[in-house]
Structure 1
């Protein structure tokens, strides 16, 4: 009897040592949470095992957190110009699935082992979870653990070396290639004097409708007066307006109505700029139009910051908890604005246990529904796919009845990270018992097979992106990193150019890959 025979001690030893291994870096590359999986497999080989209930609990929490995070971007991206990147993400998973079938036949690998290789090659933990759920075989984790290290390293090396092989100036290639992204730089502020007769005696609403610029007009300066820009504010020649937006939108607005001027607005005390954090539960999921800030509160929102990115707000933009709004209003309105958005009622934690539990319950029930696929048989979404689907749908809406689905990003990461390491710890100890036997039996074929499943989708997707979609190299690499669900790859891609384009392409491809690799894992069970 050793200390590790106590399940609770075993769990925390695995988490401690595994996370320590995951933090070790070699030229900027580390295993991250997969260090927990690898160490757990070692202990599993020596007979230690974490209870299955811990693994299932971790899986449930991890999958729900991933779904809630992907939900808002998934449906928004489907309606945007990022659709081409989503198609690339889907194609990468489709190509990887076909390659997996080929590898399985050539090397005579079992379905669970082949699925594990695919999910490891794609560095997809949700795919691993779906594969374990569909096959009920811990050998999936063995395949994942063998293919994962090469999957991480190969994407990073591909991103770093392939442009050098092609001998291309990435910045020039990005500039000369037609981009599917409506590229935006950082938000700026501009003061514009109205000189056009076409604007004289027009309201702000009429001006913005005619010019169709997304720039937000926050204030109007007329002589010594400085007042809030409202939809019914009438503009006169000689007025100065303060607008916030992307440079290209500000230039469009300036050219249409007058010229840029320099004005010291700080001396005008009757209007102030203030930042508030969205925390009030009744505002989560509501749009700025529904709140009607300008008409009801004489407040204009000029910027919205979410997850480190700033956006010009639109009337249809739905608020999430933790959004930071830059507002302009009179000093006496500031207190009312803070109370409205709940800034003064900030809570240390906002994880809604009722909602999380209900989403999990609904997801598990949906996951039990059999889905008939002609020619292949029936499948279920299972404990992984069902909660993922429900979380994506509810995450998109933010709030459905009593269910609250949008938390502060740090809160969501806590759910995701805790769930992930518990799941990997359980999956690793379960798989470790058969690790050595599988490696002895299959030998080098496992490593070669995993490498093939990593390389073929990457290279094929790159040429599809260039030849079929005519994307720049940077957009192609960003989308490939998203399709391969490779965050280290994105980090390497970001170092190639001073641009947000790789991250945008990654963000558009990633949710699609995330969802379809889980679906592919279950379909391959029927095919193989």
Structure 2
């Protein structure tokens, strides 16, 4: 026993021992549910109770890496979602955090719990590790981790059971409910192709650019057919009465275009072989973070992009959308042009690890400096974003742009996950050993109250958010459940939701609600310190 104690007194051995045993505990599954990375936190708390302590610098390093990786992952989708049909899911995610905060205040006051312990219960009930990180920094009290560790298991199980059992209690056919409910999600199948004849006199001799500015349609005109000629649609292409245009877009945009220029051609359109559609995958590091306007694809390569597929969904390409690795572009061009386009977007450099140390370092440095800026809140006092909130905010902003000067923020996703996962387990290991020092005392003092408080903070937002989703936003049950899983930051809940029905709708709702919840739970954790 003395030998083991001596070995664990060495910080490096202690760190990897906690990671090894904690990860093993986190992988143990029961009916598809496991603790995941939180197994490291729980085992760290056990060792912390016996006096073992991981250095604080390791915990802070892990926190910094984890938060930056999360911000870079959320950045590309956060601001775009704010302008899209997914905004309703984001609002629901925000409301879940608001409801959870109000419930947390009531639970803390009713059970007379300390502020750090109460906030820890909330972050555990919402299974939010970024929230835990922000709360630890704001309170500077390791008891936050105790609350998190106690509430977390119920938070995971409750969301999974809610998703699985609630549709059965309501006795509803999820497929029929989805089909009859107006969906805010535009699916891949929504993009259509239409051939339209130019018949209106006011369109005669107008350029495509002039036409687009006249009708404000998002449909993309990929080619123009004039007699036996078939040529690419460019901004300076002049349209003549009698031409036929091939357009790609959502039905409402195509209808607007048809009304403005003429009528749909229902007979088979005779395409010549000089222009064909090709699919090109974005895989070149130099293209990641750039947009169509910057690379001037039409001007330099005589190519029109008609669709952009990302994550299994197709969108009308916008000149401002920045490319992510794995995007699939549908392009129209002549056969001799396609090779140059494929080389432009293809993998010019094969990189096993796509991590830019310079960029990671400067993002962290700027983020930490931003986190130190005092923010004055009326009636509440002064707060700072801290080591958690500052890097998160900066990473989201830089992640949105993809590249700012020499700073690169679009990493190959597996590489970003490596940064995130390593940072997460290092942070949890340090937080666990620190919290373990007061674990037994807190449980002896508060006892069963902590479990009840955590359960209330989990259940109230779940049920209230579902009622809001159905009654206020009129969402389908499957969209409601997906958004709730995102607002509760519950990946296991999403897995259970996906098993209910063969559709990608819950994943879309989850992806829209998750970044909003992620950001606001971090902010809420710090605000509650001032309120409680």
What is the TM-score normalised by the length of structure 1?
0.89
> 2:529 matched to 1:518?
no
Is this contact kept in 2: 1:276–1:343, CA < 8 A?
no
Shift of 1:200: 7.5
Q: Equivalent of 2:130, from 118, 126, 129?
A: 126
- Distance in 1 of aligned mates of 2:42 and 2:463: 28
Shift of 1:333: 2.5
2:111 alignment partner in structure 1: 107
Q: Equivalent of 2:52, from 14, 34, 48?
A: 48
Shift of 1:338: 3.9
- Distance in 1 of aligned mates of 2:27 and 2:171: 33
Indicate how the Cα distance of structure 1 residues 193 and 518 shifts in structure 2: closer, same or farther if over 3 A, else same. Answer: closer
- Distance in 2 of aligned mates of 1:37 and 1:260: 63
The correspondence of residues 5-404 of structure 1 with structure 2, limited to 5 A, is 5-179=9-183, 181-186=184-189, 190=193, 192=195, 194=197, 204-205=208-209, 214-220=218-224, 226-233=230-237, 243-245=247-249, 257-260=263-266, 268=273, 271=276, 273-281=278-286, 283-341=287-345, 343-404=347-408
Deviations 1:166-189 (A, max 9, x none): 22333333333344x152333767
1:461 alignment partner in structure 2: 465
Is this contact kept in 2: 1:274–1:334, CA < 8 A?
no
Shift of 1:203: 5.1
- Distance in 2 of aligned mates of 1:264 and 1:420: 57
Deviates most, 433-442 or 51-60: 433-442
Shift of 1:192: 3.5
Q: Equivalent of 1:489, from 486, 489, 493?
A: 493
- Distance in 1 of aligned mates of 2:296 and 2:11: 54
Is this contact kept in 2: 1:185–1:247, CA < 8 A?
no
Q: Equivalent of 1:441, from 416, 439, 445?
A: 445
Indicate how the Cα distance of structure 1 residues 118 and 211 shifts in structure 2: closer, same or farther if over 3 A, else same. Answer: same
Is this contact kept in 2: 1:191–1:261, CA < 8 A?
no
Shift of 1:121: 0.1
Shift of 1:103: 1.5
Q: CA RMSD in A?
A: 3.0
Indicate how the Cα distance of structure 1 residues 464 and 276 shifts in structure 2: closer, same or farther if over 3 A, else same. Answer: closer
What is the TM-score normalised by the length of structure 2?
0.88
Secondary structure, in 3 states, of the residue corresponding to 1:315? coil
Is this contact kept in 1: 2:188–2:315, CA < 8 A?
no
Indicate how the Cα distance of structure 1 residues 157 and 251 shifts in structure 2: closer, same or farther if over 3 A, else same. Answer: farther
Count, aligned residues: 525
Is this contact kept in 2: 1:64–1:391, CA < 8 A?
yes
- Distance in 2 of aligned mates of 1:276 and 1:78: 26
Secondary structure, in 3 states, of the residue corresponding to 2:265? strand
Secondary structure, in 3 states, of the residue corresponding to 2:500? coil
Is this contact kept in 2: 1:195–1:258, CA < 8 A?
no
Query: Unpaired runs of 5+ in structure 2?
Result: none
- Distance in 2 of aligned mates of 1:263 and 1:374: 65
Q: Equivalent of 1:414, from 413, 418, 423?
A: 418
Is this contact kept in 2: 1:322–1:409, CA < 8 A?
no
